[in-house]
Structure 1
Amino acid sequence: MIEKIDISGSNYKVEESFQKYATKRIGKLDRYLPRGSKKDVVAKIVVTEVNRSHGNKYEISVAMEIPGGKVIAAKDECSNVFAGIDILEAKLTGQIRRYKIETNPHLRKNPILRLFRREK
């Protein structure tokens, strides 16, 4: 579980239920991170209420600072803050997996492709 999660609101009062939900969903993303960088990850969630002519929307942005200077960020605009967190969780999962493949060279090797490679 990510220990340091800062949740703030701009034009939006962060409720206790949203804070618990966001902490639960974003906090479990550490399982996809490389082992050495799990402890020092800091996540920042900012929720902004945007008044539109056809109804209120919420702009949610999440930034995860990973040790080594890497920042993984995602942003979404949704009419429900809980649904927005779910969408951002999926976006961040993909970005973290790509980051992990880039940083760990043994994950780039595909053993299945070696089976079909022709030897000269």
Structure 2
Amino acid sequence: MIEKIEMSGNGYKIEEPFKKYTEKRIGKLDRYLPRGAKKDVVAKVVVSEIGKNKGEKYEISVAMDIPGGKVIAARDECSNVFAGVDLVEAKLMGQIRRYKLEVQPHRQKKNWRNLFIRRK
């Protein structure tokens, strides 16, 4: 679970149900991070109210500071803040997986096969 999640609202008051939901959804993204980067990740969530009428649309943006100077960010607009968190979570998940592939490339199958072949 990501321990450090900072939330702020720009024209939107962060309430307890939204805070719990966001911590649950964004906090579980650490399972996709490389092992060395899990403990020092800081996530910043900003909810902004956009549109002329209050409550019309919300913009949710999340930035994750990963040790080593890497920042992974996603932003989405939605009429429901809870649905917006789900959309941002899906975007972040894909970006984290790409980042993990850059940092830890996959091993090739032929190397593993050579370990178990009996040579004469």
TM bracket, shorter-chain basis: 0.7 to 0.9
Deviation at 1:10, TM superposition (A): 0.3
Deviation at 1:111, TM superposition (A): 3.3
Deviation at 1:110, TM superposition (A): 5.2
Q: Are 2:69 and 1:69 aligned? A: yes
- The equivalent of 1:47 in structure 2 is 47
Tell me the amino acid that sits aligned with residue 85 of structure 2.
Answer: I
Match of 1:111 among 71, 95, 109: 109
Say what the alpha-carbon RMSD is for the aligned residues.
1.7
Tell me the amino acid that sits aligned with residue 40 of structure 1.
Answer: D
Structure 1: how far apart are the matches of 2:29 and 2:84?
Answer: 16
- The equivalent of 1:87 in structure 2 is 87
Larger Rg: 2
- The equivalent of 1:2 in structure 2 is 2
Deviation at 1:49, TM superposition (A): 0.5
Structure 2: how far apart are the matches of 1:45 and 1:69?
Answer: 18
Paired positions, count: 110
CA, structure 1 residues 110+56, in 2 after alignment: closer, same or farther (shift >3 Å)? farther
Identity %: 72
Tell me the amino acid that sits aligned with residue 4 of structure 2.
Answer: K
Q: Deviations over 1:49-94 (max 9, x none)?
A: 01246x7100010000000000000000000000000000100000
Runs ≥4 residues deviating over 6 A: none
- The equivalent of 1:100 in structure 2 is 100
Q: TM-score, normalised by structure 1?
A: 0.86
Tell me the amino acid that sits aligned with residue 46 of structure 1.
Answer: V
CA, structure 1 residues 110+89, in 2 after alignment: closer, same or farther (shift >3 Å)? farther
Structure 2: how far apart are the matches of 1:75 and 1:111?
Answer: 37
Query: What pairs with 1:13-24 in structure 2 (closer than 5 Å)?
Result: 13-24=13-24
Tell me the amino acid that sits aligned with residue 24 of structure 2.
Answer: K
Structure 1: how far apart are the matches of 2:11 and 2:82?
Answer: 17
Tell me the amino acid that sits aligned with residue 7 of structure 1.
Answer: M
